[in-house]
Amino acid sequence: TICTKSQPNLDNCPFREQPSLKREELCSFQIYAVPQEDSLTMLNTSCQEA
């Protein structure tokens, strides 16, 4: 997208138009949740080009 991480609203970021800058990734996340403690921990993340 053309948005930067510091922008206040990242919900509606347009995608880049230039083909050389377009890239798709497929990501997988493993999350450990403890609801009674209101706790979430990311155990693993992996991404690869789609």
Q: What is the pLDDT of residues 23-43, one digit of tens each?
A: 889 999 999 999 999 999 999
Looking at the domain assignment, is residue 15 inside a domain? no
Looking at the domain assignment, is residue 18 inside a domain? no
Looking at the domain assignment, is residue 42 inside a domain? yes
Between 42 and 2, the more confident residue is: 42
Quote the strand ranges of the chain, DSSP E: 25-34, 39-49
The predicted pLDDT at position 32 comes to: 98
Looking at the domain assignment, is residue 36 inside a domain? yes
Looking at the domain assignment, is residue 28 inside a domain? yes
Looking at the domain assignment, is residue 13 inside a domain? no
Q: How many domains does the chain have?
A: 1
Between 19 and 40, the more confident residue is: 40
Average pLDDT, the chain: 89
Q: How far apart are the first and last CA of the chain?
A: 16
Looking at the domain assignment, is residue 10 inside a domain? no
Cβ-proximal residues to 46 (8 Å cutoff; 6+ apart), any chain:
27, 28
Q: Which two tokens stand for residue 47?
A: 């991404």
The predicted pLDDT at position 17 comes to: 83
Domain span at 39: 24-49
